Amino acid sequence: MPDTPRPARALFVGSGVALVTPFGDDGVDEGVLRELVRFHLREGSDALIVNGSTGEAPAMSAAEQRRAVEIVVDEAARRVPVIAGAGGSDTAAVAGLARGAREAGADALLIAPPPYSKPPQRGIVAHFRKVMDAGGLPAIAYNVPGRTACNMLPETLELLAEDERIVGVKEASGDISQVAEICRRVADRVAMYSGNDDQIVPLMALGGVGVISVLANVAPRDTSRMAHAFLEGSVAEARSLQLRYLPLIAAIFREANPIPIKAAVEMLGFRVGHPRLPLVEISDAARQELRGAMDAMGLDAAGR
């Protein structure tokens, strides 16, 4: 069995789904969001992440974000952790989102460096501390330089991990050497999660305990099983699932997330609607690839 650390601070192990946000004419579609939560509870997702980039948080008002958290918390009824994204370039505004998430009942925050601003590493640390002070909740640090335009260095994450409010790291740099160095420094203290669906097993081989996943929106049971199989020592099964899903993972990232994954969730029969501008509907070519990949995996409305 792999010697995979399970730090005491870990909020969950396995697969946390980065939920898409269904929108109606008047904001968040409460009924469909509740349907999605029930689906993930049935299918074995280990945690629910709301108001992340997959959830289109940058296009949502603070009131909408708070309401989305309230809905997910109410429907989940403490059966799995609910983690709320708190992101943006204005630290004071992000601190307000963190307070709102706590008041709405979230169990933890997912915090990324502020996008666009490109702060130095010490600015990232100051941003995190201000947001955590306001939120009063445990936090997962999210390194996603492709969206934020600033990379959280291993020594920065090591510094943040000295604060016991940091319970995890979601690593989406795609740089496996950096992932290894971060794991070397902090995996004995905080939970390491893959932020890339095509690197779940590689990251877990370095000491990770799971994933915060886009794929899990349409394949929650297998995504959770991939992580748990590895933790149970069934490495061949985990590897097989990782490789089997690569074509679908490629399809759901063919265009900017969450454009394809919202289309994929619609293909499962959930009326989540189109992305909000500036994101647009999936292209015909990407939809055709996605449909083929979904069919190949047996994923459709009847299948769920």
Residue 241 structure tokens:
């699932």
- Asked about 130 being catalytic, the answer comes back as no
- Asked about 170 being catalytic, the answer comes back as yes
Residue 150 structure tokens:
């600033």
Cα separation of 175 and 195, whole Å? Answer: 11
CA distances (Å), origin 140, targets 82, 137, 201, 260: 12, 10, 20, 25
Residue 149 structure tokens:
């335009």
Candidates 142, 193, 245, 262; catalytic one: 142
Candidates 118, 170, 245, 262; catalytic one: 170
DSSP per-residue codes, 99-146: HHHHHTT-SEEEE-PPTTT---HHHHHHHHHHHHHHH-S-EEEEE-HH
Cα separation of 195 and 245, whole Å? Answer: 16
User: Which of the residues are catalytic?
Assistant: 142, 170
